[in-house]
Amino acid sequence: MARIKIKYVRSIIKRPQDQKDTIFALGFRKLNQVVEHEATPQIMGMVKKVAHLIEVQD
């Protein structure tokens, strides 16, 4: 499968708990951190849920 790079760009302060949990499940701990994942349907669903907090880099 293809791999995607995801960058964490907006804070989770004052966000619902499920969005905070999704950010941590993606492996983010700090702002501007970049992680790389396989583009599975599960990961893409998590990316879609918090799309307003992250950037997807190709």
The tokens for 8 are 């964490």
Count of CB atoms situated within 10 Å of the CB of 8: 21
- Which structural domain, as residue segments, surrounds residue 11? 3-57
Query: Is pLDDT at 58 greater than 90 in this prediction?
Result: no
- Please compute, for residue 42, the number of CA atoms within 13 A of its CA located in the half-sphere on the CB side: 5
pLDDT of residue 29: 97
pTM of the model: 0.93
The helix/strand/coil state of 21 is: helix
As a whole number, mean pLDDT of residues 17-29 equals 98
Cβ-contact 4, 15 below 8 angstroms: no
Could you give the CA distance from residue 3 to residue 37 in angstroms, rounded to a whole number?
Answer: 6
Number of domains in the chain: 1
| CATH number for the domain harbouring residue 23 | 3.30.1390.20
